[in-house]
Amino acid sequence: MEVVIRPNADAATDLVARVIARELRDNPRLVMGLATGRTMESVYARLVQMHREEGLDFSACRTFNLDEYVGLSSNHANSYRHYMNHHLFLQVNIDLQNTHLPDGMAADLVAECANYERLIAGNGGIDLQLLGIGQNGHLGFNEPLSALRSRTRVKILSPVTRAQNVPLFPRPDLVPHRAITMGVGSILDCRGCILLATGEEKAAIVAKAVEGPITSMISATALQLHPECTLILDEAAGSQLKESDYYHWVFENQPEWEPFRAVSSPIAKSGFQAKRQLEKQSVEAMSDVLE
Ligand code: GLP
C-alpha cells in the first residue's frame, strides 16, 4: 500500500485523474473498475475535461462498476447507472455496450451476481479499480462483517450507510435497503487499485483503514493485502494518520511519482507498469551484484 497526501481535494482529485489517464493512454483497452459517490464526481469531471481538451480516448476501454442499488431501474435518477451515464459515460466517447453495472432489477439476484463475476473474468479481470470509502470503511457496499474473500452478492445497507446517502435522495425513506456489490475478494482480484478520500469526515476511517489491523468490520483494511494499492488523500482526510511524514517522504522520493509531483506535468509512463519495471530492474541489478 502507498499513501499519497496532496495539499487539498482538487490536487488529490487531479492526481487520481492523471493516473487513470496515463493508464488509459498506455492501454486503450483498459478494464476499469469504477466507483460512485460524491467524491468521485470531481474525478469524472476532470476525466471529461481531459477528454475534451486533450482527446483522452475512452472508445476501447471497458468498465465495471462496484455496485448498484437493488430495486432501482437504470433510468431511476438515484441509480448508479444513471449517475455513471450522467457524470461520465454520456460525456466521453465510451461505447455504452462496454460499460457494466450489476442489474439491481434482475428477477434472480443470485444469478445476476454470479453473471457479473463471469463477465468481469470474461473481460480478463479489472486492470485498475477506482475506490471511494464509506463512513464505516466500506468499499462498494461491503458493509461491516463482509468476508474478506466475499464475491459479488446482495448486501443489506447499514444504518450508517443509508444515513450517509440520504442527501442524494429526495426523502430518507427512499434510500434502498439493499444493493448488489462486488465482494472484498472480487475487489482484491484487480491488478491495481486507487482509493480517493477527501475531507475531514473521512479522516478517522482512513486512519483505521491504513494504520489499523485488518478486520472484516472495515472492508477497506483488506486493501493492506493488495500488492498494488494507492490511497490518494487530501490533507484533511489524512489528518489522523500517525505516519504522514513517512508517506510524504515516500511520495517525494519514489521515482515512479516523479512525473506527478509537479501540479501540472506531461502524462508519463505507466504507473503500475513503471513500478513493476523498476522493481524488475532492481532485482536484476541485485542479481548482477550477487553473481
Ligand atoms: C457509496 C458507494 C461507495 C462510495 C461511498 C462514498 O456508499 N457505494 O462505493 O465509496 O458512497 O461516498 P462519498 O464519496 O459520497 O463519501
Q: Which residues touch 99 (CB under 8 Å, ≥6 apart)?
A: 62, 63, 65, 84, 89
In the structure, what pLDDT confidence band is assigned to residue 209 with cuts at 50, 70 and 90? very high
Answer yes or no: is the C-beta of 104 below 6 A from any ligand 1 atom: no
In the structure, what pLDDT confidence band is assigned to residue 240 with cuts at 50, 70 and 90? very high
For 141-153, what is the mean pLDDT?
98
Centre of ligand 1 to C-alpha 37, Å, is 4
Count of C-beta atoms within a 10 Å radius of residue 189: 17
Number of the ligand 1 atom closest to the C-alpha atom of 199: 16
In the structure, what pLDDT confidence band is assigned to residue 95 with cuts at 50, 70 and 90? very high
Question: Is 26 part of the annotated catalytic residue set?
Answer: no
Question: Is 143 part of the annotated catalytic residue set?
Answer: yes
Nearest CA owner, ligand 1 atom 8: 140
Quick one: pLDDT at residue 264? 46
pLDDT tens profile 43-87: 999 999 999 999 999 999 999 999 999 999 999 999 999 999 999
Quick one: pLDDT at residue 91? 98
Question: Is 256 part of the annotated catalytic residue set?
Answer: no
Quick one: pLDDT at residue 284? 54
Quick one: pLDDT at residue 266? 34
Residue 221, pLDDT > 90, answer yes
Q: Are 74 and 183 in contact (CB under 8 A)?
A: no
In percent, the amount of the chain with pLDDT more than 70 equals 90
Nearest CA owner, ligand 1 atom 12: 37
pLDDT tens profile 261-286: 876 433 333 445 455 454 555 545 54
Residue 66 phi, psi (nearest 5): -65, -35
Cα 253–Cα 207–Cα 10 angle in degrees, nearest 5: 60
pTM of the entire predicted model: 0.90
Answer yes or no: is the C-beta of 19 below 6 A from any ligand 1 atom: no
Question: Is 67 part of the annotated catalytic residue set?
Answer: yes
In the structure, what pLDDT confidence band is assigned to residue 176 with cuts at 50, 70 and 90? very high
Quick one: pLDDT at residue 263? 61
Quick one: pLDDT at residue 281? 52
Quick one: pLDDT at residue 174? 95
For 190-218, what is the mean pLDDT?
98
Which residue is listed with cell 481538451?
A: 53
In percent, the amount of the chain with pLDDT more than 90 equals 89
Nearest of 254, 127, 125 to residue 192 by alpha carbon: 127
How does the average pLDDT of the chain come out, rounded? Answer: 92
Count of C-beta atoms within a 10 Å radius of residue 140: 28
For 13-18, what is the mean pLDDT?
98
Given the residues 14, 23, 51, 67, the one annotated as active site: 67
